[in-house]
């Protein structure tokens, strides 16, 4: 019995030394990384959020200042050796780190993200403006289609015609890192239709763009808050949940043919009719 107790105490002492956080019910010191963050090789702007992820769950975050974000990840011994991935300003980072038990402050750790690598699944939902329901992203920002694009239909692939730097700066595409998701909104009779969601791989290498009813979806750079729809003009239209464009604002129905002449030419005068027959003789007068 004495030997058993000694062995148990020895095992407990070993656990206290090796895994103090588990035995004492306390967390071990955090893993801290000073992340030098870039997007497409350019230092991120101050205020850009950098988030850390383990096993698909966000476990820490930091705000970039001077190009560096300090990211603190609390955890216990079960995190030891696990891979940490980073998301920089919504874009997936190319480098990873490893969680170390006991806590430490890494030397500056560089993470570059590509603007073509969006983290996670794009969310598509709906919102209302006046009497119209239209598509928005997961943050309520209006989504648009471009009538100059090629709609994917009948086995044909969707093709984006917005490929110049100027167009993409004004009309950023809705990109996704995996299959897009339709948000369920039980408060509305009509929701975004998951069966209408799709993707296209942009030919310019800018990533995977979300489509709806075959139309590539875009933002407008001057829409600054949920509910803004400043981009509703020209060949750009908000999108109804059933997949058609919404006419409104300064827009009219697209692709109308040229108007015909206001009036036809005056027709030729008809021929003069033939002379009529002589009328019948009148009746005889009454007797005197």
Rounded to whole angstroms, how far apart are CA atoms 268 and 24? Answer: 107
Q: How confident is the model at residue 251 (pLDDT cuts 50, 70, 90)?
A: low
pLDDT for residue 107 = 58
Segment 120-140, tens digit of pLDDT: 889 999 999 888 999 999 999
pLDDT for residue 63 = 92
The more confidently predicted of residues 122 and 279 is 122
pLDDT for residue 77 = 76
Q: Which CA distances in Å does 38 have to 41, 198, 220, 221? A: 5, 30, 24, 22
pTM (two decimals): 0.57
Domain boundaries along the sequence of the chain: 2-117, 121-238
Does the pLDDT value for residue 199 go beyond 80?
yes
Does the pLDDT value for residue 271 go beyond 50?
no
Least confident piece of the model among 68-82, 86-100, 105-119, 264-278: 264-278
pLDDT for residue 8 = 34
38: Cβ contacts below 8 Å, ≥ 6 apart: 44, 67, 88, 110, 111, 112, 113
Q: What phi and psi values does residue 279 have, to the nearest 5 degrees?
A: -70, 160
118 close to 92: Cβ distance less than 8 angstroms: yes
Does the pLDDT value for residue 211 go beyond 70?
yes
Rounded to whole angstroms, how far apart are CA atoms 142 and 218? Answer: 8
Rounded to whole angstroms, how far apart are CA atoms 242 and 193? Answer: 7
Does the pLDDT value for residue 189 go beyond 80?
yes
pLDDT for residue 12 = 35
pLDDT for residue 249 = 62
Angle at the Cα of 223 from the Cα atoms of 168 and 175, rounded to 5 degrees: 45
163 close to 216: Cβ distance less than 8 angstroms: no
Does the pLDDT value for residue 146 go beyond 50?
yes
Segment 27-84, tens digit of pLDDT: 578 888 888 999 888 888 888 889 888 887 888 899 999 889 999 888 777 888 889 9
Helix, strand, coil percentages for the chain (3-state, nearest 5):
10, 40, 50
Rounded to whole angstroms, how far apart are CA atoms 275 and 272? Answer: 9
Rounded to whole angstroms, how far apart are CA atoms 88 and 239? Answer: 29
Does the pLDDT value for residue 195 go beyond 70?
yes
Q: Which CATH superfamily is domain 2-117 in?
A: Carboxypeptidase-like, regulatory domain (2.60.40.1120)
């Amino acid at each position: 019995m004495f030997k058993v107790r000694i062995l148990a105490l020895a095992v407990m002492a070993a656990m206290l030394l090796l895994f103090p956080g588990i035995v004492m019910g306390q967390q071990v010191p955090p893993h801290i990384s000073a992340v030098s963050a870039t997007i497409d090789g350019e230092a991120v702007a101050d205020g850009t959020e950098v988030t850390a992820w383990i096993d698909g769950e966000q476990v820490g975050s930091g705000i970039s200042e001077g190009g560096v974000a300090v990211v603190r990840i609390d955890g216990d011994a079960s995190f030891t050796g696990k891979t940490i991935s980073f998301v920089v300003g919504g874009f997936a980072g190319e480098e990873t780190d490893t969680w170390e038990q006991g806590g430490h402050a890494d030397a500056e750790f560089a993470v570059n993200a590509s603007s073509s690598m969006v983290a996670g699944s794009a969310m598509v939902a709906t919102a209302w403006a006046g009497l119209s329901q239209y598509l928005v992203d997961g943050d309520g920002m209006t989504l648009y289609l471009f009538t100059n694009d090629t709609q994917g239909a009948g086995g044909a692939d969707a093709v984006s015609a917005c490929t110049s730097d100027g167009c993409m700066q004004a009309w950023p595409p809705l990109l996704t890192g995996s299959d897009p998701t339709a948000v369920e909104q039980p408060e509305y009779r009509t929701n975004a239709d998951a069966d209408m969601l799709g993707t296209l791989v942009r030919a310019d290498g800018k990533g995977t763009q979300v489509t709806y009813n075959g139309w590539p979806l875009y933002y407008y750079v001057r829409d600054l808050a949920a509910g803004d729809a400043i981009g509703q003009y020209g060949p750009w239209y908000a999108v109804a949940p059933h997949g058609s464009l919404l006419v409104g604002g300064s827009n009219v129905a697209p692709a109308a043919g040229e108007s015909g002449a206001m009036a036809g030419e005056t027709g030729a005068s008809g021929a003069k009719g033939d002379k009529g027959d002589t009328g019948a003789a009148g009746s005889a007068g009454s007797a005197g």
